[in-house]
Amino acid sequence: MSVTENFKPTIVAFCCNWCSYAGADLSGTNRLQYPANVKIIRIPCSCRLNPMFVLRAFQKGADGVILCGCHPGDCHYTTGNYYARRRMTLLFSLLDFMGIERGRTRVEWVSAAEGAKFAATMNEFTETIMKLGPNRRLEDLRCRKD
Amino acid sequence: MKRIAVENLQSLFAAVSAKKQLYIPADDSAGQAKFTLWSEGTVLTEKLNTVRSAKDLFFPQVENLVNFKVSSKKIEILENRDSSEPFVVFGVRACDCRSFDILDTVFLSDPVDTYYQSRRENGLVITLACNRPAETCFCGVFGIDASDPAGDVTCWMDKAYLYWRANTERGQELTKSLSVLEDCDESSVDAIREASKQILQKLPLNDLDLTDFRENKLLDVFNDSAWGELSESCLGCGTCTFVCPTCQCYDVQDFDNGREVRRFRCWDSCMYSDFTMMAHGTNRPTQKERFRQRFMHKLVYYPNNNNGVFGCVGCGRCLQKCPIHMNIVKVTKKLKEGMV
Amino acid sequence: MMETIRRISGVNPRKCMKCGKCTASCPAYDEMEFHPHQFVDMVETGRIEELMQSKGIYTCLSCFACVERCPRSVEPAKLIEAVRLAVLRQQNENHLTANDIAEKLDPELPQQAITSAFRKYRK
Amino acid sequence: MQRIGVFVCWCGSNIAATVDVEKVSQVLAQEPGVVFSTNYQYMCSQAGQEMIQESIHKYQLTGVVICSCSPRMHEATFRKTCEKAGLNAHMVEIANIREQCSWIHKDMATGTEKAVILGRAAIAKVHLNAPLTAGQSPVKKRALVIGGGIAGIQTALDIADAGFDVDIVEKQPTIGGKMTQIDKTFPTLDCAACILTPKMVDAAQHEKIHIYSYAEVEKVKGFVGNFQVTIKKKARYVDETKCTGCGLCTEKCPQKKVPNAFNLGLDNRRAIYIPFAQAVPKIATIDADYCTMLKSGKCGVCSKVCTAGAIDYKQTDTYIEEEYGAIVVATGFNPIKLDKYDEFAYSQSPDVVTSLEFERLMNAAGPTGGTLLRPSDGAHPHTIVFVQCVGSRCDDEKGKPYCSKICCMYTAKHAMLCREKYPDTDVYVFYIDVRTPGKNFDEFYRRAVEEYGVHYIKGMVGKVVPQDGKLKVQASDLLGGSQLHIEADMVVLAAAIEPDETARPLATMLTASMDTNDFFTEAHPKLRPVESPTAGIFLSGACQGPKDIPETVAQASAAAAKVIGLLCKDSLTCNPCTAQPDELMCNGCSSCEKVCPYGAITYADKEFRGPNRTTLLRRVAQVNPAVCQGCGACTVACPSGAMDLKGFSNQQIMAEVDAICR
Amino acid sequence: MQKRLKEKALELLSNCTVTRVLGWKTGEFFYDLTPAVFETAEEVEKEFVYSGFSGANLSKYLIQESRKQGKVAVFLKPCDSYSFQQLLKEHRILRENVYVVGISCNGLLDMEKIRAQGCEGVTAVTEDGDTLTVDTLYGTTKLSRNDCLLERCAVCKSKKIVAFDELIGEQGEELESNRFDRVAELEAMTPEERFAFWREELSRCIRCNACRNVCPACSCEKCVFDNEKSGVRNKAIADSFEENLFHIIRAFHVAGRCTDCGECSRVCPQNIPLHLLNRKFIKDINEFYGVYQAGADMDTKSPLTDFTLDDCEPSIVHERGGVQG
């Protein structure tokens, strides 16, 4: 159990440049706290997220991966998040099919005005990952930090 | 010669396993045979042979070579050899046993591949004569007697007994330590061998004639017009290579986990488009050249360099597993047409 | 106490913008000493005791006109109901006896309202 | 190997208070490729920028990482800084250690550790950055204004006065919009028509303005500077070039029972009509829903009376394709439908009217000729109740969550006008708050109360019941602490306003974003209020949010200024972060093309060198960098990974992932 | 059937409709047929075979063949015709250079299944209705034909030939198939069981790439797993993660394009049921976005290059039934 007690999860948040990255900035501007485990990678649009990036993150030691994009209908590029939504739905379903914990992956739509939602989402997601413990089912042993 | 009743096989395995790690061919979850580390309950397969050859135990598909650590701006080199402990492999067929000779020629000649060497030194081979060869078997073509294989120890099996003959010093040493074995007469296996030979003679591929390839016809074979047709349907996958007991090509790759770099080698296949890729590209641009390379190597280059010994042992794995059923037998026969 | 009321009712009185439409809609306005918008205000400012003492909470018909009309979905009637429940839970008083029913009967009033009120306020 | 410089900003104490900037710059100095690392109080200051420039020269930096505030804040600043020092702008990466680090963490150790990781990710990315050069795309010097209300007219006039061609597309047969229906304007009470119609005429006569009336935008393609727009001119069955606007047909048409939309259905018009006397263009239009000739082929009266021979029953919708450099949205607003608010009896009594209907009833050109009469019996009303905030300031389910902004003022205007014209009427205004933030607005409202004796009552109307020709109004008086029962002759509802229903499909065509209420979103709520986030799309008037006339006109001119600024340029710098296919790996499968929202991807059959001196003809994707906006949808649709995105390449993103997870 | 196919091949060659015929060529044994291009009548006469072991899907070869000089004839079974049409849709095959002879099909045989039923040293198989007579070096056995069908044939989704110039045999119908049963069974397991199942299966992978190289959808000019620049190139499975990575990404890349032709599982030397991953995607697509069959027509948009405004959210994976992980 010591593993879980000292567990400091690594969480990668892919944020679209136009809504969610701005939403993340806003939660900073409003001084809303969320765990430092969450590290944000800026991508132009949620549709830029290649499933390979998600798997890469798990390989290199991430315990949770979350994608944040504009709300459906609000995509800066009009339709990007609709494609992202289908891709991630199918990817997550396949991961689930392969027995990977459902909670490790998530998609959340966060607008530029939803600083509070961003922080709340990250707090909640981190909590979920804390409960799940370290990623063991989709890890690369060569990357394990011991 | 020793023997043990078939129903007591598990106690033999237990006795060997008590001394060294023991690998035996056992069925995996898909019902295919695979060399498996023996533990209580591991049962010897009824299949003729394993899907992957016994090569895996001496030349694994992936093997660590060395690690680098990059800290600030310095590079540190760290030894990262997979430890090789003494082990015994039971149930190696005559074909696979012969493949070790071929691998030895490659890996143990100067410069010696110490990774392979340490495994060879640590590994004791117990062969098992074939009673029921498959239609795809053609080891006889290479002068291999499947009814009397080599190895540190040779075994035969019938319904009642497993017969055991130590061939080498190492084999004898192991035999001595195994009290479960009982003495028996050398002639006990004659009947088994005879029955086996009867079958071996009837195998459909026995007529494969390789004599023409022994002569130095390198360029003729290389330029044969049949290669295009033969390779046409090849998918360029690595199945034949990876199930082959004698293929020994590998690639060296690095894996960076962000804190240190692991350098490892892994099997490569000359059927792959990026095999021996160089800065200028590849010198085998189409599947025809890659396909030709594999068979030229086994049928021409290797025998030319090694006193006429072919780089194939006739195990028949590629015949069974090739997705499009192209194989060394078909290639040989087709090429022979051009040699007349 | 304020929290209890909020919990029972599920109403957030802070959503109220004090427009008074509830009070404007209330058919029992004249029967009450506190009116729907005041209920909301009193719950918000914590004047719950006063409310619980009030007879007005029993003159509320639970017609839900205020709930229906409130532009902010504050739902005053639910607050009143919650206060009544709080009273019931606290005091077990008998607010409606069988004898009281006759005078309450009104052809305009649905029978069901009487029945449900009787069930609720009878000890 | 890049030579990377790392610059850690303190942002005064904004970063330095929770991030040990000294430590961050020291640790990052140890990263491979980093040849210089420092920290400074304000990197964005003149001195900070000079320090970066000097370091670029001194250490021959090929890449720069700045650990500072959000790239949304100063990425552009730092890129320019580095560009001036001779470094390509895209060799700069920002690690966001303020908004996404120092401001969300309280603990120095946590903040520092995270800042280091974010810095590493930026360094890892810079290692793979390549200099990018933005392409140029030409600007079509013509603007399109969608909507011909006061906002559209003002924008068009301003753009045209600057010397650029402007087209106005108006869906109604005339321009003018809502303002044409209004009687007087607050707070000055001048006549709306008197100030609007000259502008309409100006627009019609301006040589740089072309008006497409009775037309709609059908399709929009392209991007800033190069929009291709298809405009649908709806069939009006009247030849615009021949019609003189004499109006004879509108008098002779036998179909008299057509609800007059201009008067909100308060009276009837003919099937062929000119909306109002000052319509621009003053051309008749046949209402195909009512015209017996079009419906059954029997009639043809208008054709017979038309001396100009302008009637053409065979006219069909026509489509015009035009190119524009900029598009202005000025689609305006409408009052909401009141079906949901039946407590006010709007559907039960004709004497319950909306404020806009009330405008028509007060208007000299309206159905009653400017005399205030009850629609039900044409009697003079003596008691009028105005109800504020109908459908505004509601919970999402109950109506619009926003304040419609204009109702307080026009209600004050209506109340005042009633009392002025008919001093014997009692006028009640029920309000929740009276909101009068505007020049001379509160004075106006106070005049209504003090000089005109309008009864302002804080409270709300609960229900209106039509009974015996009267309207029984039950309301609360919160300050008086009573429930009021008023017998009114008329009830006027200040209905909330909402964006025009054409706005949402238009936004989709324009790829412009909208908020949940269908108002167009501005690029920045404070600093770029008249631009849409979609480049080349500008916002004018109430399509962006509720506005009164002065505000609308101000925004219209502001949008025009922005358009002029754009059209002045001969070419635009394109987004350099575009998709780029590796033709050698492209399968030509069209997956990328199918997901591209801009149609930036086409295919070409190209010859490639095959093995053994052969040539192969292959279908490969081509990206038009002037059209590509860099979303990256194609990069993921591409199974072979042939399509990559410059500036956010697969390798760059994976390097960031690696750095964060390591 | 073989006779009719041979006749057709000869006819097409002799009347110059085509210059080449793509079919199956005889091997050393009765079962080891190799896809081959026949250019002369003599070759066809001598070596052309069509039998229960002509399982190989020939459509992928057309990517190359249709780009060569002259027209090529190809024999496509119903399921192969879906692959063919999907490739057409992706502009990979030049239709004008191909003459498609659609052939009806009553299911193909799986040598692995015959061997798995205890037949060693098989020398001949004769089909007689529902029975197979298997001659081996060690005697003769009779097997039920149904037990020896390729997995994809046992759960055949369609007997319809969706693209052809000419038909031999009857045109068939799309079938009610129970092909998703196994997927559903796995879905009903706990995540731990599913994880254990896939670990066991995928741990056998030797990354021979047979599944990829045989797959008609995996026809990339250069696969990401062979491409140094992709960042995911690898040649061997150095860690169990890479097993997952390869098969997840491969399944994802063919999602919406996979016709469920089953070749991946047929060729896997380690008998990994790889088709289950693809079928899971197909099942999900059918459930989330409406029934879609890749290759069934030329027009319908692939579900991954399409969307609707009210698609389900990814959280559906968390919300729907089954045991939470």
**Complex ipTM:** 0.85
- Distance CA(D28)–CA(D40), nearest Å, equals 15
Question: A99 and E316: CB-CB below 8 Å?
Answer: no
Place of tokens 């007529």: B207
Question: A92 and E314: CB-CB below 8 Å?
Answer: yes
Cβ-Cβ contacts under 8 Å between A and D: the total is 139
* Residues of chain A under the 50 pLDDT cut: 1-2
In Å, how far are B177, D159, D356, D375, D386 from D265, measured between CA atoms?
110, 35, 12, 11, 21
Question: E213 and B323: CB-CB below 8 Å?
Answer: yes
For D208-254, give the DSSP string: TEEEE-SEEEEEEEEETTEEEEEEEE---SB-TTT-----HHHHH-S
Q: State CA D344 to chain mean position distance.
A: 32
Q: What is the pLDDT of residue D1?
A: 85
- Distance CA(E98)–CA(B100), nearest Å, equals 48
Q: What is the pLDDT of residue D585?
A: 93
- The Cα of B259 is separated from the nearest Cα of chain D by a number of Å equal to 7
Q: What is the pLDDT of residue E228?
A: 85
Give which of B227, B255, B286, B291 to mutate to test D binding, by max D Cβ within 10 Å: B286
CATH number for the domain running over D4-128: 3.40.50
Contacts of E251 in chain D (CB under 8 A): none
- The encoded tokens of residue D5 equal 């410089």
C93 has a pLDDT exceeding 50: yes
CATH topology of domain D142-234+317-332+500-567: FAD/NAD(P)-binding domain (3.50.50)
- Kindly calculate the radius of gyration of chain D based on its CA atoms and give it in whole angstroms: 31
Contacts of B326 in chain E (CB under 8 A): 34
What are the start-end ranges of the E strands in B16-117?
A: 21-27, 33-37, 62-71, 74-79, 87-92
Query: What is the enclosing helix (H) or strand (E) of B253?
Result: strand B250-256
Tell me: the pLDDT tens digits for D585-598? 999 999 999 998 87
D142 has a pLDDT exceeding 80: yes
Q: Which of B337, B339, B317, B336 is nearest to B327 (CA)?
A: B317
Q: What is the pLDDT of residue C120?
A: 62
Measured in Å, how far apart are chain B's first and last C-alpha atoms? Answer: 48
- Distance CA(A113)–CA(B281), nearest Å, equals 52
Contacts of D639 in chain E (CB under 8 A): 220, 224, 253-254, 257
Give which of D18, D114, D634, D636 to mutate to test A binding, by max A Cβ within 10 Å: D636
**Of 3.50.50.60, 3.30.750.24, 1.20.1250.20, 3.30.300.30, which CATH number belongs to D334-498?**
3.50.50.60
For A58-89, give the DSSP string: HHHT-SEEEEEEPPTT--TTSSHHHHHHHHHH
D392 has a pLDDT exceeding 90: yes
Question: E272 and B251: CB-CB below 8 Å?
Answer: no
Place of tokens 């009833």: D361
Query: What is the enclosing helix (H) or strand (E) of D184?
Result: strand D184-185
B215 has a pLDDT exceeding 50: yes
Place of tokens 């229960």: E52
Do chain E and D touch: 3 or more Cβ pairs under 8 angstroms? yes
- The Cα of D496 is separated from the nearest Cα of chain C by a number of Å equal to 12
What is the β-pairing status of strands D136-138 and D142-146?
unpaired
Q: Which amino acid is at B161?
A: Y
In Å, how far are A54, B34, E174 from A49, measured between CA atoms?
8, 40, 36
Contacts of D641 in chain E (CB under 8 A): 224, 227, 229-230
Give the domain ranges of chain D.
4-128, 142-234+317-332+500-567, 248-305, 334-498, 579-646
Handedness of CA B243, B246, B252, B254 (dihedral sign): positive
Q: Which of B305, B262, B211 is nearest to B62 (CA)?
A: B262
Number of Cβ within a 10 Å radius of residue E156? 21
Question: B239 and E214: CB-CB below 8 Å?
Answer: no
Do chain C and B touch: 3 or more Cβ pairs under 8 angstroms? no
Contacts of E256 in chain D (CB under 8 A): none
Which chains share 3+ C-beta pairs under 8 angstroms with E? A, B, D
Q: What is the pLDDT of residue D560?
A: 97
B340 has a pLDDT exceeding 80: no
Whether the Cβ atoms of residue A47 and residue D633 lie closer than 8 Å to each other: yes
Residue of B nearest to D35 (CA): B73
Between C88 and D114, the more confident residue is D114
Question: D584 and E222: CB-CB below 8 Å?
Answer: yes
Q: Is D213 left (phi over 0), alpha (psi -120 to 50) or beta?
A: beta
Q: What is the pLDDT of residue C118?
A: 67
Give chain C's contact residues with D (Cβ, < 8 Å).
Answer: 15, 17-26, 29-30, 35, 37, 65, 69-73
Query: Is residue D662 within 8 angstroms of chain B, CB to CB?
Result: yes
Q: What is the pLDDT of residue E324?
A: 46
Residue of A nearest to D109 (CA): A36
Query: Is residue E224 within 8 angstroms of chain A, CB to CB?
Result: yes
Q: Which of D177, D156, D178 is nearest to D167 (CA)?
A: D156
Q: CB-CB: which of D32, D612, D658 is closest to B285?
A: D612
Q: What is the pLDDT of residue B63?
A: 94
D477 has a pLDDT exceeding 90: yes
Q: Which of B46, B237, B321, B42 is nearest to E270 (CA)?
A: B321
What proportion of chain C, given as a percentage, has pLDDT over 70?
Answer: 88
What are the start-end ranges of the E strands in chain A?
A: 11-16, 38-43, 64-69, 105-109
In Å, how far are B290, D9, D486 from D627, measured between CA atoms?
43, 36, 63
CB contact set of E247 (below 8 Å; sequence gap of 6+) = E202, E205, E274, E277
Rounded average pLDDT per 10-residue block, chain E, 325 residues: 92 94 94 94 94 94 93 96 96 96 94 89 90 91 94 94 94 92 94 95 95 95 90 88 95 96 94 96 95 94 92 86 49
Q: What is the pLDDT of residue D29?
A: 95
Banded model confidence at residue D195, pLDDT cuts 50, 70, 90:
very high
Which chains share 3+ C-beta pairs under 8 angstroms with A? B, D, E
Contacts of D616 in chain E (CB under 8 A): 67
Query: Is residue E139 within 8 angstroms of chain B, CB to CB?
Result: no
Instruction: For each of the domains in chain A, give its residue range(s) and CATH number, in order of start.
Output: 2-137 (3.40.50)
* pTM of structure: 0.76
Cβ-Cβ contacts under 8 Å between B and D: the total is 15
Question: B259 and A60: CB-CB below 8 Å?
Answer: no
Q: State CA D58 to chain mean position distance.
A: 48
Give which of C19, C22, C64, C72 to mutate to test D binding, by max D Cβ within 10 Å: C19
Which chains share 3+ C-beta pairs under 8 angstroms with D? A, B, C, E
Q: Which of D183, D184, D387, D350 is nearest to D267 (CA)?
A: D350
Query: What is the enclosing helix (H) or strand (E) of E128?
Result: strand E122-128
Contacts of E258 in chain A (CB under 8 A): none
Among D residues 562-601, those touching chain E with beta carbons less than 8 Å apart: 584-591, 594-595
Q: What is the pLDDT of residue A126?
A: 96
Question: B258 and D611: CB-CB below 8 Å?
Answer: no
Tell me: the pLDDT tens digits for D574-588? 889 999 999 999 999
- Distance CA(B176)–CA(B126), nearest Å, equals 15
Banded model confidence at residue D224, pLDDT cuts 50, 70, 90:
confident
Between B219 and E283, the more confident residue is E283
Phi, psi of D622 (to 5 degrees): -130, 135
Q: What is the pLDDT of residue C91?
A: 62
Contacts of E188 in chain A (CB under 8 A): none
Question: C17 and D393: CB-CB below 8 Å?
Answer: yes
D4-128 and D579-646 share one CATH topology? no
Number of Cβ within a 10 Å radius of residue D607? 9
Residue of E nearest to A89 (CA): E314
DSSP state of B297: I
Residue of E nearest to A82 (CA): E307
CATH topology of domain D579-646: Alpha-Beta Plaits (3.30.70)
Which chains share 3+ C-beta pairs under 8 angstroms with B? A, D, E
- The Cα of D211 is separated from the nearest Cα of chain A by a number of Å equal to 29
Place of tokens 């029945």: C115
CATH topology of domain C2-92: Fumarate Reductase Iron-sulfur Protein; Chain B, domain 2 (1.10.1060)
Q: CB-CB: which of E123, E208, E270 is closest to B238?
A: E208
Q: CB-CB: which of D100, D513, D661 is closest to A60?
A: D661
Neighbouring-strand partners of residue B63: B265
Banded model confidence at residue C92, pLDDT cuts 50, 70, 90:
low
Place of tokens 């007087």: D184
Contacts of D612 in chain B (CB under 8 A): 285-286
Query: Is residue D642 within 8 angstroms of chain E, CB to CB?
Result: yes
Tell me: the pLDDT tens digits for D48-86? 999 999 999 999 999 999 999 999 989 999 999 999 999
Query: Is residue E319 within 8 angstroms of chain B, CB to CB?
Result: no
With H, G, I as helix, E, B as strand and everything else as coil, classify residue D64.
strand
Residue of E nearest to A93 (CA): E317
Whether the Cβ atoms of residue B165 and residue B233 lie closer than 8 Å to each other: no
Question: C24 and D389: CB-CB below 8 Å?
Answer: no
Q: What is the pLDDT of residue E132?
A: 93
Q: What is the pLDDT of residue C94?
A: 61
Tell me: the pLDDT tens digits for D1-43? 899 999 999 999 999 999 999 999 999 999 989 999 999 999 9
Banded model confidence at residue D339, pLDDT cuts 50, 70, 90:
confident
Within 13 Å and on the Cβ side, how many CA atoms surround D649? 23
Q: What is the mean pLDDT of residues D277-298?
A: 93
Give the domain ranges of chain C.
2-92, 96-123
Q: What is the pLDDT of residue D173?
A: 96
Q: What is the pLDDT of residue D513?
A: 77
- The Cα of B84 is separated from the nearest Cα of chain A by a number of Å equal to 19
